[in-house]
A and B are shown apart, each in its own frame.
Chain A
Amino acid sequence: MSKPRVAIFDFACCEGCQLQIVNLEEEILNLIDVVDVVEWREAMSEQSHEYDIAIIEGSITREEDAKRLEVIRSRAKILIALGACATMGGLNKLKNNFDDLNEVRECVYGKDGQMPHLNTFKTKACDEVVEVDFKIHGCPIDAAEFAQIIRSLLVGKTPFVPDYPVCVECKANENICRYEYDEVCLGPIIRAGCNAPCPAAGRECFGCRGLVDNPNVEAAQEVMDKYNLTVDDLKQKLVLFNSK
């Protein structure tokens, strides 16, 4: 049986998620033992139009990027969104909070803001443009989880991605809950799978893996009251990765 052909593409992002793949180090050799990487700008110069699995990093912010993604989709049997930028727009969606995108351009790029290649629309996650088969969450992704998902797909098994909140892993690791210190933590509504590194380091969860499928957002008001916090405190945290 020939090895599945994999291509990795990047759009608007910092390429930190690709770096996580590179960080697999020895495991990279295991990876290329079982798949043929046919296109990967960050690691090789060849390009190919024939692949089974397309891995997409980054968000879609320009008309030409949307078209390019559609072409990739039409060529790939399986399309995977890699990292928060691709799965939900992530940090790039911060700009969607502004009504006037021209203002954003000028603020970021100054007088160069009107150059045509900076002609962007509101940030979209991959699945707002094409159908996405699997999402690998996180900003950046977790290399071990990436490896686990790829191996599952290769043996034809649906990869396990938690639909429970970060608190599960946080508690299993015996971290001290940020709410004990009356701090806002997004853990109760954010999808686990990262093994809760932020609370382990004494910080709150910033929500980089996105909301669980059915978050109890209605509870927020009353729960925040119990800690003398407000829903605005919570929303301010959510804006970073979970803007619309």
Chain B
Amino acid sequence: MSVSTVTKEQFKSFVAALVNSDQKVVGVQAKDDKFAFGELTDADALRLDYDVTILPPKKYVLPQKETLMNFEVAGAAKTVCPDEKMVLLGVHPYDMVAINQMDELFSQGEYDTHYMNRRDNITIIVCDVVTPSENVFASSMNTATCDSGYDILLTDIGDRFVVEAATEKGEALVKTINGAKEAAAADTDKRKAVQEKNIASLNKHTLECKPSDLPDLLEKAYDHPVWEEKAKLCYSCGSCNQVCPTCYCFDVQDEVNWDLKTGSRCRSWDGCLLSNFATVAGNHNFRENRADRFRHRLYRKGKYVPGKIDGQIACVGCGRCISACTSKIANPVEIYNTLMEKA
């Protein structure tokens, strides 16, 4: 596949053309003094220099709320299948890694048609990080760069972008960029320098072990006092779940229409920190204590999910939970490091 360079002006013209086509384009834009992914209607609004978005791009593969099927109370049901095509512009490498993990999780075992349909309809353009966010620790999680999942990889090398097409879909899009030139060795060297810098500097918190050591570390940490200590301040507000690119739990509810004969089944984001997350039939809640729920999230990231996807750690170091937690207790690095101290 091709590696080329384009000037920033040329890239902007390309985005403008995309925005004006009938293709849905989603990109990162400013939201007050933060950033968020949203539908792009103006190429000038795209902010590839963003630090981090409030919510990760998972909202396009697993929306906050979606209808799974419409049903008749009497029995018949019809699955609703999402088929909207879109270009997702400006995904950071750590978020790409998270989507790659979810792709594995939603396609293994019971294949999730809703998730996978959305995913298959999305063309992803990843861009290497330009501005590190206040709490990013992708360096520690080996997610400062990524090498799969995207259709196009974009790297800002100062006056130009290096544009790498990674799939047929990506190649076809790159072909529409007017003025793209084959990248010279000097350009790919510059790209390498940017990536190496990110590998070293997306490190606002430093995990004091290899990510691959986490499952064993957690194996012995179940009764560690840190869970109680931190959870004392936990509001069970689920913010740490909501903003996490690798949290994928959902709740399913049926809603009935005014005719009282038809309705729809919807799923919406759930979170393992919420007090009723683990409540099952008969009102039995098997994680009633805050500390149990607080611990569960860190075990999901460091042990349980890795057990399902060949040891990949389900924390990609985006730092969002650290910023989102009102009580300032959610920092995974701080907790994992504490476990090491006393282990």
Binding site for B on A (CB under 8 A): 27, 30-31, 33-34, 147-148, 151-152, 154-155, 157, 160, 163-165, 167-168, 171-177, 179, 187-189, 212-216, 218-219, 222-223, 226
Which residues of chain A are within 8 angstroms of B55 by Cβ–Cβ distance?
Answer: 171-172, 174
CB-nearest residue of chain A to B328: A226
Q: Mark B13-37, 1 if CB is under 8 A from A, else 0.
A: 0000000000000000001111010
Q: Is B245 an interface residue (CB 8 A)?
A: no
Which residues of chain A are within 8 angstroms of B235 by Cβ–Cβ distance?
Answer: 165, 167, 188-189, 215-216, 219, 223
B32, B237, B254, B255: which contacts A165 (Cβ < 8 A)?
A: B237
| CB-contacts of B218-265 with A (<8 A) | 232-239, 242-243, 253-258, 260
Q: Is B92 an interface residue (CB 8 A)?
A: no
B255 adjacent to A148 (CB under 8 Å): yes
Q: Beyond A218-B232, A226-B328, is A167–B238 a contact (Cβ under 8 Å)?
A: yes
B326 adjacent to A167 (CB under 8 Å): yes
B233, B253, B269, B326: which contacts A160 (Cβ < 8 A)?
A: B253
Q: Is B275 an interface residue (CB 8 A)?
A: yes
Q: Beyond A30-B258, A218-B232, is A172–B242 a contact (Cβ under 8 Å)?
A: yes
B54 adjacent to A174 (CB under 8 Å): yes
B258 adjacent to A171 (CB under 8 Å): no
B31 adjacent to A151 (CB under 8 Å): no
A213 adjacent to B275 (CB under 8 Å): yes
B232 adjacent to A155 (CB under 8 Å): no
B239 adjacent to A167 (CB under 8 Å): yes
A179 adjacent to B260 (CB under 8 Å): no
State the majority secondary structure of interface residues on A.
helix
Residue contacts A-B, CB under 8 angstroms, 22 given:
A34-B260, A151-B256, A151-B257, A157-B254, A164-B271, A167-B235, A168-B239, A168-B242, A171-B242, A172-B269, A174-B54, A176-B31, A176-B33, A188-B326, A188-B327, A189-B235, A215-B235, A216-B233, A216-B235, A219-B235, A222-B232, A226-B327
CB-nearest residue of chain B to A213: B275
CB-nearest residue of chain B to A33: B258
CB-nearest residue of chain B to A29: B258
Q: In the complex, A154 Cα to B55 Cα: how many Å?
A: 37
CB-nearest residue of chain B to A216: B235
Q: In the complex, A220 Cα to B54 Cα: how many Å?
A: 24
Q: In the complex, A167 Cα to B54 Cα: how many Å?
A: 13
Q: In the complex, A148 Cα to B31 Cα: how many Å?
A: 32
Q: Is B121 an interface residue (CB 8 A)?
A: no
Ranked nearest first, the 3 interchain pairs of A and B with the lowest CB-CB distance are A30-B258, A171-B242, A188-B235
Q: Beyond A151-B258, A171-B242, A219-B233, is A176–B54 a contact (Cβ under 8 Å)?
A: yes
Which residues of chain B are within 8 angstroms of A34 by Cβ–Cβ distance?
Answer: 258, 260
Q: Beyond A171-B239, A176-B32, is A216–B234 a contact (Cβ under 8 Å)?
A: yes
Q: In the complex, A155 Cα to B71 Cα: how many Å?
A: 14
Q: Beyond A216-B236, A219-B327, is A168–B256 a contact (Cβ under 8 Å)?
A: no
Q: Is B162 an interface residue (CB 8 A)?
A: no
Which residues of chain B are within 8 angstroms of A215 by Cβ–Cβ distance?
Answer: 235
Q: In the complex, A214 Cα to B235 Cα: how many Å?
A: 9
